[in-house]
Amino acid sequence: MRVPSNCQRNINLLTFDPDGDHVQCRHGSNSYECSTCTPPSVISLSSSCSLSFSPTNSSSDEGSYAVQLMMEDFPRQTITLTHDSGSIVSISTSSSMSRIPVQFVFKVDPAAPSCTAGEYLPRFLPPTPEHGAQFFIDINEMIEINIRAEATQSVITELLFSGPVNMVKNSSGSGNFTLRWTPSVSQNDDKESHPICFAVQATASSSVYQSELRCVIVRVGNIPFIATPSPPPITCK
């Protein structure tokens, strides 16, 4: 992920828990979670998993930074878990149940002539889905995500994306892209929630510019709701 040094950029990481647990982010803090664990000085992180970069006039801030985060889920009420061995453990709302690493490179580029989206920095246009949008499909049903962007002072060159391994990207002219994917039983896609993230990249002379990051969720199995914990404590086996 990259941003010109003179442009404000807010990055809302995709957080999703189908059980309705509360999701938070923090910087990695030990050798199991990060390497050289000092957080990047150029960005700030909120517990709600939003990253913020503020413009800087110092060229010394330009360069690449390793972002090493941990995403954790917390119960919305105290719950009781019973293991197969018969042991019982109580988990409060301040104790995380699981955690996953989120790691990427954040690059601060030289200043752009303009920070207005749609000029040098690509701007998304309809019918591009909004960040956090959810799609519900069945197994063996193809989903097609149409992405459109514009940049009047730079040339859009590519769509950067992450998603299921067999997702296919197509382009139908500058700034027009399509992502297609068909979930299958053989890939264990059924009853799973699959994140898809994307950004559009453009160039002007030797400079590279990226749009904002957007992520969507594809839920396979047509379950159009997010489960929430019931009021009383929950016992799981």
At 58 the pLDDT is 82
Instruction: Count the neighbouring beta carbons within 10 Å of the beta carbon of residue 181.
Output: 22
Residue 153 identity (one-letter amino acid):
Q
Torsion 88-92-93-94 (CA) sign = negative
Residue pointed to by tokens 């500058």: 174
Which CATH code for domain 112-225?
2.60.40.10
Question: Which residues in the chain are classed under CATH 2.60.40.10?
Answer: 1-111, 112-225
Q: What is the pLDDT of residues 27-84, one digit of tens each?
A: 999 999 999 899 999 999 999 999 999 998 788 899 999 999 999 999 999 999 888 8
Check if the beta carbon of residue 219 is closer than 8 Å to that of residue 14: no
Tokens of 116: 């207005």
Say how far apart CA 227 and CA 21 lie, in whole Å: 9
Tokens of 237: 């086996």
What 3-state DSSP class applies to 145? strand
Residue 237: pLDDT over 60: no
Residue 201 identity (one-letter amino acid):
Q
Residue 158: pLDDT over 90: yes
173: left (phi over 0), alpha (psi -120 to 50) or beta: left
Residue 236: pLDDT over 80: no
Strands 134-137 and 214-220: parallel
At 227 the pLDDT is 46
Say how far apart CA 128 and CA 148 lie, in whole Å: 6
What 3-state DSSP class applies to 79? strand
pTM: 0.87
Say how far apart CA 103 and CA 106 lie, in whole Å: 10
Check if the beta carbon of residue 191 is closer than 8 Å to that of residue 139: no
Which CATH code for domain 1-111?
2.60.40.10
The mean pLDDT value of the chain amounts to 92
Check if the beta carbon of residue 158 is closer than 8 Å to that of residue 201: yes
Residue pointed to by tokens 């699981």: 98
